[in-house]
């Protein structure tokens, strides 16, 4: 994973969204992307996970985000949790027009 250059982020402020496969601010940061996120959630014993959508900014901490929690049990394996979180992402995508500024 690489950060988007700050110049590009400033040029497209509040125009780029990121969907993270876990509930931020937990399970975010360096090295937590893709399947690593789900493994970290399961390994922590967390009761909930789910996708987070946020505007891309110059920092690593999103300033605005929306989340859709999904229940996960300790018996969940990486595959079932991934499917559940991915399915929940559709709810967030439906919210995108409400997040963007009116022109």
3-state SS of 13-55? Answer: CCCCEEEECCCCCCCCCCCCCCHHHHHHHHHHCCCEECCEEEE
Catalytic hit among 20, 38, 54, 78: 20
71 is catalytic: no
Active-site residue list: 20
């Amino acid at each position: 994973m690489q950060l988007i250059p700050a110049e590009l982020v400033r040029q497209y402020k509040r125009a780029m969204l990121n969907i993270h496969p876990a509930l931020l601010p937990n399970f975010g940061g360096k090295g937590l992307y893709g399947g690593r996120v789900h493994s970290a959630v399961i390994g922590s014993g967390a009761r909930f996970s789910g996708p987070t959508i946020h505007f891309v900014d110059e920092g690593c901490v999103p300033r605005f985000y929306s989340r859709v929690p999904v229940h996960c049990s300790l018996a969940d394996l990486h595959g079932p949790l991934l499917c559940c979180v991915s399915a929940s992402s559709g709810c967030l995508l439906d919210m995108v027009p409400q997040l963007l500024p009116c022109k």
